[in-house]
Amino acid sequence: MDDFHAKMDAAKVVALWEQEGRSNYPPDAAHVWRWATLNPLLDEAVGVTDMNNAERRVLILRNPAFADTDRDGAAANLSVNLQVLMPGEKARPHRHTMHALRFALEGDGASTIVEGKDCPMLPGDMILTPGWTWHQHKHEGKTRAVWVDALDVPLHRYLDSGVFQPGPAPQVDEPPPDGAYAAAGLVPDQPSAHKPYSPMFRYPWGTAVKALEAMRPAADGSRRLRYTNPATGGAIMSTLDCFLVGLAKGAATQAYRTNTNAVCVVMEGEGESRVGEDTVTWGPKDIFSLPHGQWISHKATSAGARLFQITDRELFRRLDFLRDEFRP
């Protein structure tokens, strides 16, 4: 056998029967990043760096469940960060292969320019910066602007497919205005509208809440709205799928388990989420993870609780790997 092993080593092969079987990681516990802790750190970040020496002023959320593994991010397949921009500041243009979205938490005059389209960032607005689209940020308001960044960075690291290109951005053909998608069932028929991601880069909070409240609630009182590509009716991007969940005060939602992962941003209200054997309490602007493989249920402890959910469901759906279970 020693001679056999020496020959295998020289040939750069190994014996399958001698390899330890690798199982999946055990289900992670949920983790919550408290706004009360993050908020002062953002102010300190402003004090220690400026936009002259930083590509972006960003704090990366790192899930402690991944501390002793080769994984990274706020949840499996999801990188979630907080970005802050002060009045008068700009973040220079760039593009990258990673899909990204921005969910605004506060601010009165910030905007993201995506492929030449100016997208205001009011609290609760979602802004898309799909892979390989040119984008930059500016702030012409009077108060601090903060938003959540969400990207599929872990997937690109695994595939070794991440590419970054700094600006300046070239002249691009601006996509159709968002108003062209305002009527249900009607979309522009022009080349710039046919992209592998949503051409409607800005999803205003007021519009989303109005649509959510128009829905008939489920038996547990909850409402769940999906952000979609108006040209296809599918997910906003090929790896990221987003939802807005409204919860009825005092009613626990039906428990579910999935093989996908999510990160929740609490836009309004207070409540708690049961994730496996743990209970996570949350309030406005808290951010918490919902790992795969755990039974999950939510309950609002105040009226008007709304959760913005970022998930990797679309990645699993496209690979035909998606699995969901529900308890009666």
* Residue owning tokens 């592998």: 196
| CB-count burial class (<10 Å; 0-12, 13-18, 19+) for 22 | exposed
Specify if 287 maps to a domain.
yes
Tokens representing 144? 């601090």
Contact (Cβ atoms closer than 8 angstroms) between residue 238 and residue 315: yes
Specify if 96 maps to a domain.
yes
Specify if 174 maps to a domain.
no
Look up the CATH number of the domain holding residue 309. Answer: 2.60.120.10
Specify if 15 maps to a domain.
no
pLDDT tens by residue, 158-216: 999 999 999 999 988 877 888 888 887 888 887 666 788 999 999 999 999 999 999 99
- Residue 148's H or E segment, with its range, is strand 145-151
The CA distances from residue 255 to 44, 48, 75, in Å, are 39, 44, 20
* Residue owning tokens 């704090």: 59
Return the half-sphere exposure (C-beta side, CA atoms, 13 A cut-off) of residue 200.
Answer: 22
pTM of the entire predicted model = 0.94
Residue 242: give the domain boundaries: 27-164+201-319
pLDDT tens by residue, 56-70: 999 999 999 999 888
Specify if 224 maps to a domain.
yes
Using DSSP's 3-state secondary structure scheme, residue 51 falls into coil
Specify if 291 maps to a domain.
yes
pLDDT tier at 1 (50, 70, 90 boundaries)? confident
Q: What percent of the chain has pLDDT above 90?
A: 82
Q: Within a 10 A sphere around the Cβ of 197, how many other Cβ atoms?
A: 23
Specify if 178 maps to a domain.
no
- Residue 95's H or E segment, with its range, is strand 90-96
The domain total for the chain is 1
The pLDDT of residue 24 is above 90: no
Q: CA-to-CA distance for 21 and 290, rounded, in angstroms?
A: 27
Q: CA-to-CA distance for 218 and 27, rounded, in angstroms?
A: 28
Q: What is the pLDDT of residue 27?
A: 83
pLDDT tens by residue, 267-283: 999 999 999 999 999 99
- Residue 282's H or E segment, with its range, is strand 278-282
Specify if 22 maps to a domain.
no
Weakest mean pLDDT among 16-30, 54-68, 194-208, 309-323:
16-30
